[in-house]
Amino acid sequence: MEPLNPWTEGFHERLYDIYRDYRENRPVHWEGEPLPSTRGSWYLFRYADVSAVLKDSRFVKSLATVFPEKAGAPTEPAPAAADPTAAAESTHPAPDALARAPRPVTFGDMASQWILFRDPPDHTRLRRLVNVAFTPRAVMSYSSRVEQIAGELLRPALRDGGMDLIADFAFPLPVIVIAEMLGVPAEDRGKFRVWSNAMAAALDTEWNEEIDRRAAQATGEIWEYLTRIIEKRRENPGADLLSALIAARDQGDRLSEDELVAMAILLLVAGHETTVNLIGNGMLALLQHPGQMELLQREPQRAAQAVEELLRYDAPVQMTSRFAAVDVELGGHVIRKGDNVVVVIGSANRDPEVHPDPDRLDITRQAIHHLGFGGGIHYCLGAPLARREGQIALTTLLKETPTLRMACDKPSWRPGMVFRGLQNLPVEIG
Ligand code: HEM
């Protein structure tokens, strides 16, 4: 059984073979103490287990929910950092203690305010507040702007006969979109990228002091940056999401000041680290399957279904995690109260029990039930936006650049296990 070590040579290329091996032979796997600072995690590889845990209220996001009596205790054992939750929890105290934390906050302090790491009832309150901005209808109203941005981003590539599909297209598209939706200057996206990358690194499997230091610095800077913009919007509200969140905050104590800033940071980070990989991984898969690419080129009305298949085939977010709130029996093992459970979405999506012939890319596949956006109460808030961006990105690319082809033999993957995406994808046009 190959260890789950993304720093092994060729790990990213062999990823789905490694998953298959675990799924077939050790679907409920205890990875003990992968890092000195952690105490290990359960990894789940089968669709049925992953889907069940995501929907099961006995599995929660915050250790403070599991051990309220210990919340904030500095001696709390740190869980494995195989997931945003774990990383956030491992380096900072619990939410109750955070309300008293002085600002500027550390990354862990700030991230523990994220809706992503909260359990009901706080989760329910936060979700209600931001839901309106991401409904399919709200997102549709933004579609023509997304199309316009996609067209503008492609212009230099059409002129030059090529581009790095990641840096020049897949990355800036969702970043400009979320910046405009929030109402922060899209020209500052160079700064967002540095901040976002530093925070995303702290959310992945590897942890060291340098990663921690950079994430803390990024948190301080982005916190100050957004606080200043929030002050301006408060005086001068606009039609943007930040103004809507401020209004929610100022209508009584429904969103604390810290939650407001943290929410804005999460939306910016989520806009940076995920959809770029849907577009990048999706285009790589199509370039490697020319028949499928031609089909989508001929029949662009298949874009919505193609995006679902691409999310299944090579998920941008490969795993997430929960803590067991009580002892739970799973696959013949007892998962103890407080244990960290990593659900491997990327493996679940390739489970033949649910998706026959799972390693075949087929944009005409029926009955796609991928878990790319998670499941249960934390189901991705940005899913309607990400889907629309993905559809527009693929159709624009295939329409405007009919002769698109890869300009390298083997694209390289970014390090890490949680987010799966390419470092770059050089392509030629014409
Ligand atoms: C293809 C792109 C995306 C993918 C694959 C993705 C994936 C996910 C997944 C798997 C979760 C669930 C995590 C868990 O259960 O622990 C999640 C939650 C979330 N996503 Fe996304 N995401 C994407 C794009 C976005 C975008 C564009 C935004 C917003 C701008 C966003 C905002 C969020 C938020 C706020 C949550 C937390 C929801 C909650 O806790 O209730 N996501 N996402």
Q: Is residue 104 part of a domain?
A: yes
pLDDT the model gives residue 399: 96
> Which residue, judged by its Cα, is nearest atom 17 of ligand 1?
380
pLDDT at position 53 over 90? yes
How many Å lie between the centroid of ligand 1 and the Cα of residue 374? 8
Domain that includes residue 42, residue range? 15-428
Give the contacts of 44 (CB within 8 A, at least 6 positions apart): 27, 28, 29, 50, 53, 330, 341, 342, 343, 344
pLDDT band at 123 (very low <50, low <70, confident <90, very high): very high
pLDDT at position 97 over 70? no
pTM here?
0.91
pLDDT at position 337 over 70? yes
How many Å lie between the centroid of ligand 1 and the Cα of residue 385? 10
Q: Is residue 351 part of a domain?
A: yes
pLDDT at position 76 over 70? no
Cβ(319)–Cβ(312) under 8 Å?
no
Residue of 338, 317, 337, 341 lying closest to 27 (CA atoms): 341
Give the contacts of 334 (CB within 8 A, at least 6 positions apart): 327, 328
How many Å lie between the centroid of ligand 1 and the Cα of residue 267? 9
Helices (H), 115-208: 122-131, 136-140, 143-160, 165, 172-182, 189-203
Residue 235, CB-side half-sphere exposure with 13 Å CA sphere: 5
How many Å lie between the centroid of ligand 1 and the Cα of residue 118? 14
Q: Is residue 341 part of a domain?
A: yes
pLDDT tens digit sequence for 144-187 = 999 999 999 999 999 999 999 999 999 999 999 999 999 998 88
pLDDT at position 258 over 80? yes
DSSP secondary structure of 227-294: HHHHHHHHHS--SSHHHHHHHHHHSSTTS-HHHHHHHHHHHHHHHHHTHHHHHHHHHHHHHH-HHHHH
Q: Is residue 4 part of a domain?
A: no
Cα–Cα distance, 100 to 113 (Å, whole number): 13
Question: Domain of 424: which CATH number?
Answer: 1.10.630.10
How many Å lie between the centroid of ligand 1 and the Cα of residue 408? 31
**Which residue of 242, 379, 380 sits with most ligand 1 atoms within 8 Å of its CB, as the best mutation to test the pocket?**
380
Q: Is residue 212 part of a domain?
A: yes
pLDDT at position 95 over 60? no
Atom of ligand 1 nearest to the CA of 115: 40
- Over range 51-64, report the average pLDDT: 97
Q: DSSP strand E in 49-153: where?
A: 59-60
Question: Which backbone phi and psi does 164 adopt, to 5 degrees?
Answer: -90, 110
Atom of ligand 1 nearest to the CA of 83: 16
pLDDT tens digit sequence for 265-312 = 999 988 788 999 999 999 999 999 999 999 999 999 999 999 999 999
Burial grade of 377 (CB within 10 A; 0-12, 13-18, 19 or more)? middle
pLDDT at position 368 over 70? yes
pLDDT the model gives residue 34: 52
The number of distinct structural domains making up the chain is 1
**Which residue of 139, 309, 373, 419 sits with most ligand 1 atoms within 8 Å of its CB, as the best mutation to test the pocket?**
373
> Which residue, judged by its Cα, is nearest atom 6 of ligand 1?
373
Q: Is residue 395 part of a domain?
A: yes
> How many residues are given for the chain?
430
Distances (CA, A) of 365 to 153, 283, 286: 31, 18, 15
Cα–Cα distance, 108 to 86 (Å, whole number): 10
> Which residue, judged by its Cα, is nearest atom 19 of ligand 1?
380
Q: Is residue 50 part of a domain?
A: yes
Residues at CB less than 6 angstroms from ligand 1 = 115-116, 127, 178, 266-267, 270-271, 274-275, 278, 316-317, 320, 372-374, 378, 380-382, 385-386
Of the candidate ranges 69-73, 283-287, 422-426, the one whose mean pLDDT is the lowest: 69-73
pLDDT the model gives residue 69: 83
How many Å lie between the centroid of ligand 1 and the Cα of residue 270? 7
> Which residue, judged by its Cα, is nearest atom 42 of ligand 1?
382
Q: Is residue 45 part of a domain?
A: yes
**Which residue of 54, 242, 308, 381 sits with most ligand 1 atoms within 8 Å of its CB, as the best mutation to test the pocket?**
381
How many Å lie between the centroid of ligand 1 and the Cα of residue 117? 12
Of the candidate ranges 43-52, 144-153, 199-208, 233-242, the one whose mean pLDDT is the lowest: 199-208
pLDDT at position 94 over 70? no
Q: How far is CA 354 from the centre of its chain?
A: 23
**Which residue of 83, 117, 274 sits with most ligand 1 atoms within 8 Å of its CB, as the best mutation to test the pocket?**
274
Mean pLDDT of the chain: 88
Distances (CA, A) of 234 to 178, 188, 240: 19, 20, 12
How many Å lie between the centroid of ligand 1 and the Cα of residue 1? 31
